[in-house]
Amino acid sequence: MNIAFAHPWVLVLLVLALLPFIAGIFNKRLTSWNRLIPPSNTTRWINRLIKLLGVLAFISIVLGLAGLYQTEKTFTRTGTGAHIVFVLDRSASMNETFGGKVPDNATPAKSQVARRLLSEFVNNRPHDLFGVVGFSTQPFFISPLTEHKSATQAAINSLTSPGLAFTNVAKGLGMGLSYFQDQPHTGSRVIVLVSDGAATLDHRAQRVLREWFERYQVSLYWFFLRTENGLGITSEPESARDDNPRVMPERYLDQFFRTLPIPYHAYEVDTPESMEAAIHQLDNLESLPLVYNELIPRNDMTRLCFLTALLAVLILLGIKALEAK
């Protein structure tokens, strides 16, 4: 049981608890001769009890005023779940709709659809840890792997901000993988790459990504938000001349991901509904046994202290009422 105080300085008042040893609640009375009222064991014990009640009353009021509480506890439990890092594309084209147009009320932008669905997904997975990375030309750290859902939701909201520059998938994935560096290996580890484009990876980036994916054993989900009539992961080149990573970066990125020694799933998403279906699949697939921490919030014990003091004072009051007038 861990105990702490909201206002520890109030504890100075604990010296008041010495008062019952110095003085009592009764009026001093004169008697003609002390020996006429001989002390007995019973009266000694009653006297001690009365002092103790006084001490109890002072101590519990002061503890209550100091804001006694039980600190929040974490219980380690085993359930099913995952450590999930969202790697979000923040390039300029995410502002368009799936039809490649300027968004209006009826057809939201790709980034808006992604935000809504990811946010629902986060709410539905109570025990998972989530982290968020954004990337455009450079990656940026948004929120660490955490069980606080409110923080993850705020981080996913970054998708509402207009997109920036280009799509540098390699650096985004690199930062996403770095989240698993100091994490204990429990449950499934997942990177969810949400992007609407791809880029060519140079040899150096390919080598580093391959090494890191293998070392951290992270499975990869790629939600490719395809624009209508645009090139997709599964598009076949029309001629041999077009079959190169510059013309068809998506196809080549997909081929690279397939060669990685980890579970990999690609979803080509071209409507809000298909994205929802893809997220459901992710939900079903990623539930390995996971050791997670359950947080029990702090327990305020102020009222309990005041209640104890009240009982002590009520008994004292009763005794005082019996005092000889």
Partner 1 sequence: MKSIWLLGISAVLLIIAVLIPNLPFPSKKYDYFFMVDITRSMNVEDYRDNNGDPISRLEKVKADALAAIQQLPCGSRVGLGVFTERMPTLLYTPMEVCSDYPEIRESIRRIDWRMAWVADSNIIQAFANTLELMRTVELTDATLVFFTDGQEAPPMNSRYAPDLGELQSAENNDQQPISGLIVGTGDHALSRIPKYDEDGIQIGFYTAEDVPQGTTFGLPEDPSKIEGYVPRNAPWGNQSRAGNEHLSSVKEDYLKSLAEPAKFHYHHLQTSTALLTALMHDDFSQRHIRKTDLSFIPASVSLFLLFLAYLPENIFSRKKNLLKPNINERIPLNSG
Residues that bind partner 1 (CB under 8 A): 13, 16, 19-20, 22-28, 30, 33, 54, 57-58, 61-62, 64-65, 90, 132, 134, 136-144, 146, 148, 150-151, 154-155, 157-158, 160-162, 164-166, 300, 302-303, 306-307, 309-310, 313-314, 316-317, 320-321, 323
Q: How far is the CB of 139 from partner 1 (least distance, A)?
A: 7
Tell me whether residue 136 is exposed, middle or buried, using C-beta atoms within 10 angstroms of its C-beta: 0 to 12, 13 to 18, 19 or more.
buried
How is residue 292 annotated by DSSP?
E
Q: How far is the CB of 71 from partner 1 (least distance, A)?
A: 14
Q: How far is the CB of 219 from partner 1 (least distance, A)?
A: 24
For 68, the token pair is 């006694």
Nearer to partner 1, 72 or 243 (CB): 72
Nearer to partner 1, 262 or 304 (CB): 304
Nearer to partner 1, 25 or 285 (CB): 25
Phi, psi of 223 (to 5 degrees): -95, 105
Nearer to partner 1, 264 or 306 (CB): 306
How far, in Å, CA of 140 to CA of 145, rounded?
14
One-letter amino acid of 177 = L
Nearer to partner 1, 60 or 188 (CB): 60
Q: How far is the CB of 262 from partner 1 (least distance, A)?
A: 25
Q: Residues for the chain: how many in total?
A: 325
Residue 87 near residue 176 (C-beta atoms within 8 A): yes
Contacts of 263 (CB under 8 A, 6+ apart): 219, 220
